[in-house]
Amino acid sequence: MTVLEPDLPQSYAETLTELADAVRDAQERAQRVVNASMIELYWNIGRTILQQQQAEPWGSKVLGRLADDLRGQFPHMKGFSRRNLYYMRALAEAWQGSEAFVQTLSARISWSHNIVLLERLPDQDLREWYAARSVRHGWSLAVLEHQIASRLHEREGSALNNLEARLPEEGTGLAREVAKDPLVLDFLGLSPEADEAAIEEAMSSRMTQTLMEFGAGFAFVGRQVHLEVGGDDFYIDLLLYHIPTERYVVVELKAGKFKPEHLGQLNFYVSVVNDKIRLPRQRPSVGILVCGAKNEHTVRYALDAAAQPLAVTSYTYDSLPVAEQEALPSPEAIATALELDSD
């Protein structure tokens, strides 16, 4: 907070705030331009290496010499290690024939993000899928690694649901936004035997990660939200709000196996939220039941009988098998590639 001196005009504090915001905005735009220029440079170096390797033998020894010479001519620039030259070659090979490379997805994310995509995903379509979401949602490197490790592309929109049937005009797109299966709750640090109360407590204490796992655009409204119906008291485990579609999302947690009566309870909660909490300008609320296990056939019958738009997802505490976790590039490997100190 700026404390005004007596001789300063009343508009000074507001003007200072506006100018400071403008400076920060300019800094962010300049950083994006610098990053795009660097990625374009790396892509051009990689493309040149590819072209030379097609014409004559440019093996490891030649690339090692090239890395040394580039470092010698540009000692102030980091990133010219032999390992990084291989990444540049891989980048050019992945994004071949790009007429306007600076405008592509790869040029709008950091070099570290690009390395993870190149190392972890052999399929170019998947690289573009994760790159697009990194740009759209501003994923950090750690979030990108987690989403790849937990196979977000397979989980997104895969929860059993009746959203299309109950919301025919928007249900299909909404399912992609909110109906993820399974939810990977490895960040909670719980044992498989944890009950609903423990899961709810852990989710609440790690709400930022919890919201990120549910999907982009979720906001926390409350835990154990009280509903009063005709003198009877009820409590919602978690009440979220999905900002992109302007609707409440009622979340109920069940540690055990799915039972049809679970959806009856959730259906009731969604009805009450629509009646007592939702504003006229807001879209119909949806419910998500998070359970420890489920029988697909039982869930489908229960969803058919539910009047409200609902989804049923399971949860797991294991994002990846050990072998696949070990295959991820470590922060140290990325730091080595960039010739940065990993501390």
CB atoms within 10 A of CB 68: 13
Tell me how far apart the alpha carbons of residues 300 and 277 are, in angstroms, rounded to a whole number.
28
Question: Tokens 């609903």 sit at which residue?
Answer: 196
What is the tens place of the pLDDT at every residue in 209-256? Answer: 899 999 989 999 999 999 999 999 999 999 999 999 999 999 999 988
Residue 71: C-alpha distances to residues 18, 64, 76, 88, 339 (Å) = 42, 11, 8, 15, 11
Q: Report how far residue 51's alpha carbon sits from residue 227's, in angstroms, rounded to the nearest whole number.
A: 67
Q: Which whole-number Å values give the CA distances from 113 to 40, 54, 105, 211, 253, in the listed order?
A: 14, 28, 11, 22, 34
CB 307 within 8 A of CB 264: no
Predicted confidence at residue 86, as pLDDT, reads 93
Question: What's residue 222's pLDDT?
Answer: 94
Q: How far apart are CA 141 and CA 147, in angstroms?
A: 10
* pLDDT score recorded for residue 79: 87
**What residues in the chain have per-residue pLDDT under 50?**
1, 320-329, 331, 334, 338-343
Residue with tokens 């010698």: 72
Ramachandran angles phi, psi of 45, nearest 5°:
-65, -45
- Candidates 247, 214, 210, 252; CA nearest to 235 is 252
DSSP-assigned letters across all residues of 98-153: -TTGGGSGGGGS-HHHHHHHHHH---HHHHHHHHHHHHHHT--HHHHHHHHHTTHH
User: How confident is the model at residue 337, as a pLDDT?
Assistant: 52
Per-residue tokens: 176? 């992609």
Domains of the chain: 12-150 (no CATH), 153-319 (3.40.1350.10)
User: What would the two tokens of residue 71 be?
Assistant: 């470092």
**pTM as predicted:** 0.78
